[in-house]
Structure formats: structure tokens, C-alpha cells
Structure 1
Amino acid sequence: MTGALAPAPLFTGSDWDFSLINRIYETVEPIALQEMKLNIYPNQIEIISAEQMLDAYSSIGMPLFYKHWSFGKQFVTNEMLYRKGLRGLAYELVINSDPCINYLMQENSATMQTLVIAHAAFGHNHFFKNNYVFKQWTDAEGILDYLEFAKRYIAQCEERHGQLAVERVLDAAHALMNQGVHRYPRVRPRDMKEEAEREAERQAYRDRIYDDLWRTVPVGAKAASVPSDQRRAALGLPQENILYFLEKTGPRLESWQREILRIVRLIAQYFYPQRQTKAMNEGCATYTHYRIMTILHDRGWLTDGAFMEFIQSHTNVVYQPTFDSGHFGGFNPYALGFGIMSDIERICMDPTDEDRDWFGDIAGARDPVEVLKDIWANYRDESFVSQFLSPHLIRQWRLFQLLDRESEPDLRVEAIHDERGYRRIRRALAREHDIARQEPDIQVVDVDLAGDRTLMLEHAVTDGVVLDASDAAMVLQSLANLWGYEVALSEVDVESRKELKNHRCHPQPEWIG
């Protein structure tokens, strides 16, 4: 019965079997669903070995995926580090799908299996199903079917067109994955099953714009000039999703190449919400497992020894190195998410006058889980930090803001944890979690239809941060190969509109015959 003391602990040692996994799940489930009232997809629990976990790492954590040499490279690298003891493996891996697939490591102790069931099967699962970013961008029910289609389709392409030809397209598409997403939501999430079923129709597809713009351009002569506004409107410019633009208008691409670009960009889009919610997603799962494991111990389901094992693991997960520790590398998303969520619980249960001034809507609400569920559903990392990082936590963590300008020889402390600094620190940390600032804003802005068909792009430069020259050259080479003609990229300051740098690249001969 929920809330009752356990007649005996679930286990007393570290060993487990499948019947114990079932008992653990059946004990955790009512706490998560009836007491915390979490809303989840049905769970599917899989036990995998260390080698299978390494294999999952190599294919970005998905149970089905097409073949590519980069996955094998990742596997060899991770395996070498793991075997040498230089890198550990995750205790679990969870897939945003319906049913929600949870991979548990075979090597975990019984305590760790309990932790990861609470963490992944209920914490991550609830976040995947309820957060608005995942609702806008993902189709949990259809993703596994689509991945199966993608794997089969690319294997068929290798048979028809050769492994090298397919590998070239995948290499180029992978280089552009971060520029292969729509950053503004559609009316409804894309139905991944429908995408797979429509593939046959797209085999014969020839876009009207493609015909109008490319078939009629004379070879070796200049076409009649088309007004720039009409040209850009016909091409749907400016366009931030570069893979989408290539798929629809690339003049040299065959239908199977367009379909591969579509596969890569839809998978990139599927993972886009995870890049926006890393701290919230891990914070939600960590808060959930901490609450459930504490309840299990309080009610006698976990022994003191098992709880101490859990506390040690949990403490390692939420450890945050200080700025002067010698190994500070930014904020640990587990520590940031769990810390703010635990502080929200404090504000709900035992607020100070300062908390009431800053968080009048939730201070003293007395039901922190309901408050957190609303936050989990309606925020992403940037807005979460911007709204809920409290002065109390800023003082506790001793946060401050450093200003590092290229024009100035020294660093300057811009804000500290005091009345004047709270909002500035919170705003600065929130901006660090804004994906629009983490990734360059590069858009296709025009095409020289009347000349040599040069594809023109623009990078909107903020804070003077231009692209790394070597990285830009490699990615532009992939873009030029797919486009089939010269590509030009201008880096332009967003405020002054001054051009800071210019890059140009031609396709490699083997791509254009």
C-alpha cells in the first residue's frame, strides 16, 4: 500500500535478477504516479552490457540507426577510454519514444538499478512527454518507425549507388546538422510514421521552383535578370535551415540524395529540444530520483547501506567545481537544474521575505511538486534560469560575472552576489543557456541566378565572435559539394552591418563530374 512502511527492504546486497527489477519498478511506480502524479509514456526496460552501451553511445543513443563510419570511430574511441579507466559509462540511457525505452547497465548494483529506474523511467520520461519544446518538435510515437525506415532506405541506396557515393552525402549532411533545423515551431509536430510512408511519393518529386529556376538557366550564358525580391521569395529566402534549402532547391542533387538530406535534418530536428533543455531535463530526472529514493529509504524499502551508496552516487552527479578549482569547465547541468529545483522546493515550503518579493506566485505554495511540474512543462533552460535563479542561490554558490573584452587588457568583475548584481548575474547565466547564442546564426540570403549560381550566406555576428576559420572552411566545403557551385559566406556585425570576414569555397571535382 502506498505510504505504508515496508515489511522488509527490497534487497540487502548488490546482486539483482529480473524478478528484483520487477519488484523495484512496482514499488517505485506508485510513488511516481500516485504521489508525485507524474505523467509518463509506458516504459520498456532493457538490460544491456557495457559493450552495448558503448555501441549506443556511438549512434547518438538511438536503438536503430543507419551505418556510418563516424559511429565506428566513436565506438573505438569510447571503448579505448573505458577499457583504460579514463572514462566511465552512463548508468542508463533513455529514449524519447512511445513506449519510452530505458537501457539499464548490466553492471549496475541493485541500488543503482533502483536509482536509474526512478531517474530515467519516471523523471526523464515525464519531462519528454510534458515539456512544451518536445511537444512542438518531436513525435515520440513515430520515431522508432522512422529510424527503421531511414536505416533500410540508406542501406538500399548503398546497394543501388555504391557505398562511397552514399558516404559522401552523409558526410556532408552530418557537417551541416546544426544548420539543419527549423528554430521556429510548426503548427503541429511532424508525424514520423507519415514521413516514412510518403518516401515513395517523393522519389518522383521534382519541385516546381527547382524546375523554374534551374532548368531554364542557359548553360554558358547569363540568364535574364530577375528582381531580387521575386528571386528570394521564389526560393523562400532568407532560410536558416540550410539542409532544408538544399533538399528543396539543390540544382545538382538526385532524388535519393535529397531524401538522405531529409533523413539527416529530421533526425537533427528531433534532437533539437534536448539541446535547449539539458539542465532542465537532467534537473527534473535528478530531482525525481532524489525524492523517490528518499521516500523509499524513509519507508524501509532501502537499507541504510543502500541509501549511503545512493547518496555517494548522487553527490558525484551534482558536484559543481568552483571557478578556482583548476578543473572548472562551466556549469554542470545536473547541478544547475537540481540546485534551482531544490531551491524552488525551499521557496514553496519555507519562504523568506526576500523570496516573497522575488517569487510571489510560488512562495509558500506548499506543494513544490505541482509547482515544479508546471515549470517542467512550460520552460526551457534559458527562461528557467532567467525566472528561477534566486538571490539565495546566487549567494550560496558565490556567483559573480566576469567581463572579458578583446579591447581591454584585463578581466573585470562586472557583478557580484549583492543587491545590484543579482539580476545581472541571472541574466548573464541565462544567456549562456540560450541556444541562439550558443550556435552561429547563419542563413542563406540569395543565389546568383543570373551569373555563376553562387550560393550566398550570411553569418550574423554578435559580440564580435566570428567563425573559426578552419571549421568554417570544412563546413563550407561540404555545403559547396552539395550545392554543386561556389558558396560565399559573409560574416556581418549585427549592429553596424559591417562585413568582418568573407569566405568562399568551390565544390570538389569528384562531386561535379
Structure 2
Amino acid sequence: MTETATASAPLFNGPDWTFELLGTVHDAIEEIALNELGLDVYPNQIEIISSEQMLDAYSCVGLPLMYQHWSFGKHFVRDETYYRKGLTGLAYEIVINSNPCISYNMEENSMAMQTLVMAHAAFGHNHFFKNNYLFRDWTDASGIHDYLAFAKNFVARCEERYGVDEVEAILDAAHALRDQGVFRYGRPPRPTSQELQAMQQRRDEHASQQSVLDLWTDSTMGVAEDTEDTHLQARQIRQEDLNLPQENLLYFLEKNSPTLQPWQREIVRIVRFLAQYLYPQKQTKVMNEGCATFVHYYIVNRLYEKGLITQGALMEILHSHTSVVMQPDFNDPRFSGLNPYALGFAMMQDIRRICEEPTDEDREWFPEIAGHSDWKAVLREAWSNYRDESFILQFLSPHLIRKFKLFVLTDDTKHPELVVSQIHNASGYRRIRQVLAQSYDIAQVEPDIQVVDVDLKGDRELKLCHNIQDGIQLDQTGCAEVLKHVKQLWGYEVSLKGRDHSSDTVAYELSTKPS
């Protein structure tokens, strides 16, 4: 039985918490979240864990189950050392995109902080995971637990059968390519249930290796003479058979490597699947944290207004809240760019302001939402249909640009000085918003590396191309090391060209071939 409380009786006094009290507060938060904010959430599963367990969750990218790998242990030791020395703190919670939605709360939290993190994670993040289009289209919250259990058990069985070193080598190579192991704009069609059964049967019979070899033996059939025309014909066949160019390196290697064994392909597929599952979070940091922060701020203030938490609890919560949304100045030692919590929360507060108290400027810039009668519906629509880049491009207002004192610096290598190119005027606001939005576009931040060709008839060299943007080249030392991992998964030599399309020139070339 959970306790009930009247509007004049706070749900708790003091810092101590019990599981029964957590249930009572959860129900009070849920009433506000669902009935007032209109949130739509997965069922909640809230687990209380120790600081060591929180560190363990950190090291495994916040997932409840994970296969073993030395890099997770390295991260655990690093984070634990910093934490024990007081050089860094721990998150109050971790929340997982799953159904039910799992939230890990720290046992060291006071009851006030437990209230905050339940509102933040169990309802704010939960709603965003369930409703944002990227998570709806690209993730399966109901199936992730079963897949993680399969992955953990599969890797463990491979270690027993083939040895830890063999498995670790494949995981090392796949981990090195995780950022290039996702589909950014499209993906192959999902197989039917019959196709899935056939695929599983082929894996069980170890026939996938033969299917890959068929590609190598049949792809150039009918191309007899070694002429320029036949070379072009062979290249066209390669393009069609291998679906080139291909942006997802792990997918290409998993499907087409002539040397990987079936169990190795499955491990590459596991790493690729988890990278894709977490990819929407990279695209929605501002929105996800902004949504959760806005939700917890609204809920805790409503709890106080209803008399369900004390003034002392509210002050403790707001002290943590203000620390989270603080934006350090550029000359502050803590400055590392725009704080996603600060920007996301401020934008969502600003959307509410535009709906409730619009200015003439707001009506000019946001005619569709200025004076809107239901700001909650406007926010829910934004949470569902935007990612960071498009959200900023659509909703960042001149009012907020002035508040954050944003402007654009042009850094041109041809000029010895920086230039303030965009200021606070009509055209400047639009350009500032556009430039800031581009900085959250993953396609602009992460290098565009694609598989463009492979020599099927000759030495089977795999050819990659880095499409250089804004003159930014890859670090060639680190790139050479990553190419070694590509070679390990491919089985033959690998080369990479950095092509600057603005000047149509090749800026650099790297290869795993001995010099």
C-alpha cells in the first residue's frame, strides 16, 4: 500500500528515503506528468544502485547487459579513480531506452534528489525515448533486453570455443569502427520473418561464408579481355553487387568480407547493431536533456504548489537544477562550449513564453506558435518531430540569441585575424541560428568515409574515400591505426583517399600496404 497525502501534507520530510516512499512520490509525479503535461511513457522500472554499480553502468555505455571487453574495464578504472579522488562526480541517475524504461537511481541520493531524478529520467527521458521519431523509427525498446542477453551469451560462447584473444581482436577492430558503423540517412529493408528464418538456418549451417565467396567468384564472370571497357564493366558490376558507395563500413565488412568466419560476422553485427541503437542519442542531446530538464522543473514546482514537497526540498532540488543548467562564460575554466542542458531547457522555456506572452518580434518569427493556446501541445509536437539540428533551426529565437550573447566568428586560414561576421540584426539572427544548428549536425561533425571500390579480380584491395568538408582532414597517425583494424576485418589491403570536393583534388592518401 502506498501512502496518500493531502495538499497540506508533504509527502516526506528530511533526506531519508524508503522504497514505499519512492512509490508514493512516483505516483504523485506520474499524476502531474500524465494528466497535466500529457506525457506518454513506457512503464517504469526504477532500480536503486550503489556508486560502484553506477560506475559499472558508466563503463558499459549505460546498458543493463553487456558482453565482456577490456575497454569497459579500462573505463571503469579511470572513472573510479577520478571519483575516489574527488576529481569528478557521478550522475544522479542513468536511464535506458527500453520497455519497460529502466532508471538507475543512486542510493546515496536524498529523498529530494530521488524526486528530482524520477521526474527527470522516469518521465522526461522516458517520454522522449517513446515519442521522438528517431527512437521510434530506429530502435526497438521492447526487444533490446533480449538482444543484449543474446549478445552477452554469444560472445561468452565464442570466447569458450575460439579463445578470448581471437574474440577480443574482432571486438577491438569493430569498436574502432563504431562511429562509421551506422546508417545515417537510410538503411536496408527489414527482412521478413521467412527471410530471418532462412538467414538463421544459413548461419547454423555455416553457409554464410560460401555466400560471400560466391560474390568473389561470380562478380566478374563474362568479363574476359583486360581492356579499358572491360575494366569499366567490372567496376559497374562491383558497384551493383556490393551496393557501392557504402557509408556503413561495419555493415559492408560484415556482409562482404572474404575472410571473416560466421561467428566473427555475428560479433561485427552485434557491435554494429548497438552502435545504431545508440546513434539517435548522439543526434538529440540538446532535445533529450532539455525535455527531461523542463519536465522535472515543471513537475517539482507543481509538487511544491500542491503542498506535496517542503520548501527545503524544493530549494535542494533547485540548487541542483541551477547547477545543471548553468552556462559557463567563455573564459571560465569549466567552459567547453554550449551546455546542452542549458540550451535545451532555455529553448523549451522560451517556446512556452512565445505561446503565453508573445512579443511583436515573436509573432514575426514564429507566427504558427506565437500566442498558441496550448504550449504543452507545442512542446510535445517538437519533442516528437525534431532532432537537435532541426529543432535549433526551427525554434531558436532572437530573444534567446541575445540572452546567450551568441554571434558568429569566421576563422579563415587565409586571414590572420578572426572576424565577427554575424551580429544581432535581422540577417545576423538567421545566420547565427543556421551556424549553431549545423554544429549539431552529425554529418558535419563526424567524417564522411565511404567504401567506394574493391579490386575483385586483382589483389582485392578495399578502397575508401574521405569526403573532406571545410578543409578538415583526418589525423593521419590515428587514421593509419584504424585502417589496420579495417584490414583485419577485410583480410586484404586497404587504402584511403582524402578528397576535397570543393577543389576536386586528392588531399592525402593512406594505405596498409608496406611502403
- TM-score in terms of structure 2 length: 0.93
Q: Which residue of 2 aligns with 1:266?
A: 273
Residue among 465, 480, 491 paired with 1:484:
491
Q: Which amino acid aligns with 1:420?
A: S
Q: Which residue of 2 aligns with 1:173?
A: 174
Q: Which residue of 1 aligns with 2:46?
A: 45
- For 1:159 and 1:210, how far apart are their aligned partners in 2? 26
Instruction: Work out whether residues 485 and 506 of structure 1, in 8 Å CA contact, stay in contact via their aligned partners in 2.
Output: no
- Cα deviation, 1:91-118, whole Å, max 9, x if unaligned, reads 0000100000011100000000000100
Q: Which residue of 1 aligns with 2:37?
A: 36
- 2:63 aligns to what SS in structure 1? coil
- 1:420 aligns to what SS in structure 2? helix
Structure 2 residue 340 is matched with structure 1 residue 339: no
Q: Which residue of 2 aligns with 1:95?
A: 96
Residue among 394, 402, 414 paired with 2:401:
394
Q: Which residue of 2 aligns with 1:140?
A: 141
Structure 2 residue 215 is matched with structure 1 residue 213: yes
Q: Which amino acid aligns with 1:249?
A: N
Q: Which residue of 1 aligns with 2:316?
A: 309
Q: Which residue of 2 aligns with 1:440?
A: 447
Report which stretch shifted further, 294-303 or 318-327. Answer: 318-327
Instruction: Work out whether residues 46 and 103 of structure 1, in 8 Å CA contact, stay in contact via their aligned partners in 2.
Output: yes
Cα drift, residue 211 of structure 1 = 2.5
Q: Which amino acid aligns with 2:160?
A: E
Instruction: Work out whether residues 213 and 258 of structure 2, in 8 Å CA contact, stay in contact via their aligned partners in 1.
Output: no
Q: Which residue of 1 aligns with 2:151?
A: 150
Q: Which residue of 1 aligns with 2:165?
A: 164
Instruction: Work out whether residues 496 and 511 of structure 2, in 8 Å CA contact, stay in contact via their aligned partners in 1.
Output: yes
Mapping for residues 218-229 of structure 1, pairs under 5 Å: 225=231, 227-229=234-236
Q: Which residue of 2 aligns with 1:14?
A: 15
Cα drift, residue 5 of structure 1 = 6.0
Q: Which residue of 2 aligns with 1:121?
A: 122
Q: What is the root-mean-square deviation in Å for CA atoms of aligned residues?
A: 2.2
- 1:421 aligns to what SS in structure 2? helix
Q: Which residue of 1 aligns with 2:476?
A: 469
Instruction: Work out whether residues 207 and 248 of structure 1, in 8 Å CA contact, stay in contact via their aligned partners in 2.
Output: no
- 2:420 aligns to what SS in structure 1? strand
- Cα deviation, 1:312-349, whole Å, max 9, x if unaligned, reads 10000001112233442111111111010000010000
The answer for unaligned runs of 5 or more in structure 1 is 508-513
Instruction: Work out whether residues 209 and 261 of structure 2, in 8 Å CA contact, stay in contact via their aligned partners in 1.
Output: no
Q: Which residue of 2 aligns with 1:62?
A: 63
- For 2:315 and 2:185, how far apart are their aligned partners in 1? 45
Instruction: Work out whether residues 209 and 262 of structure 2, in 8 Å CA contact, stay in contact via their aligned partners in 1.
Output: no
- 1:53 aligns to what SS in structure 2? helix
- For 2:494 and 2:189, how far apart are their aligned partners in 1? 33
- 2:426 aligns to what SS in structure 1? coil
Q: Which residue of 1 aligns with 2:420?
A: 413
Q: Which amino acid aligns with 1:461?
A: I
Instruction: Work out whether residues 209 and 235 of structure 1, in 8 Å CA contact, stay in contact via their aligned partners in 2.
Output: no
- For 1:342 and 1:490, how far apart are their aligned partners in 2? 46
Q: Which amino acid aligns with 1:294?
A: N
Structure 2 residue 416 is matched with structure 1 residue 403: no
- For 2:22 and 2:188, how far apart are their aligned partners in 1? 41
Structure 2 residue 326 is matched with structure 1 residue 319: yes
- For 2:132 and 2:365, how far apart are their aligned partners in 1? 24
Return closer, same or farther for 1:462/1:399 CA change in 2, 3 Å cut-off: same
- For 1:230 and 1:415, how far apart are their aligned partners in 2? 49
Structure 2 residue 93 is matched with structure 1 residue 73: no
- For 2:414 and 2:451, how far apart are their aligned partners in 1? 31
Cα drift, residue 448 of structure 1 = 1.1
Report which stretch shifted further, 494-503 or 136-145. Answer: 494-503
Report which stretch shifted further, 324-333 or 428-437. Answer: 324-333
- For 2:101 and 2:191, how far apart are their aligned partners in 1? 18
- Cα deviation, 1:66-96, whole Å, max 9, x if unaligned, reads 0000000000000000000011000000010
- For 2:161 and 2:225, how far apart are their aligned partners in 1? 36
Q: Which amino acid aligns with 1:173?
A: A
| Identity value in percent | 57
Q: Which residue of 2 aligns with 1:292?
A: 299
Return closer, same or farther for 1:196/1:51 CA change in 2, 3 Å cut-off: farther
- For 2:443 and 2:208, how far apart are their aligned partners in 1? 33
Q: Which amino acid aligns with 2:112?
A: T
- For 2:196 and 2:12, how far apart are their aligned partners in 1? 46
Q: Which amino acid aligns with 2:278?
A: F
Count of matched residue pairs: 500
- For 1:463 and 1:82, how far apart are their aligned partners in 2? 39
Instruction: Work out whether residues 142 and 191 of structure 1, in 8 Å CA contact, stay in contact via their aligned partners in 2.
Output: no
Cα drift, residue 216 of structure 1 = 6.5
Return closer, same or farther for 1:187/1:379 CA change in 2, 3 Å cut-off: farther
Instruction: Work out whether residues 442 and 460 of structure 1, in 8 Å CA contact, stay in contact via their aligned partners in 2.
Output: yes
- Cα deviation, 1:157-198, whole Å, max 9, x if unaligned, reads 001100000000000000000111111245887999x97996
Instruction: Work out whether residues 54 and 79 of structure 1, in 8 Å CA contact, stay in contact via their aligned partners in 2.
Output: yes
- For 1:377 and 1:388, how far apart are their aligned partners in 2? 14
Instruction: Work out whether residues 41 and 99 of structure 1, in 8 Å CA contact, stay in contact via their aligned partners in 2.
Output: yes
- 1:14 aligns to what SS in structure 2? coil
- Cα deviation, 1:280-303, whole Å, max 9, x if unaligned, reads 000000000000000001111111
Structure 2 residue 259 is matched with structure 1 residue 252: yes
- 1:103 aligns to what SS in structure 2? strand
- Cα deviation, 1:421-456, whole Å, max 9, x if unaligned, reads 100100000000001011100000000112211100
Q: Which residue of 1 aligns with 2:373?
A: 366
Return closer, same or farther for 1:50/1:506 CA change in 2, 3 Å cut-off: farther
Return closer, same or farther for 1:435/1:147 CA change in 2, 3 Å cut-off: same
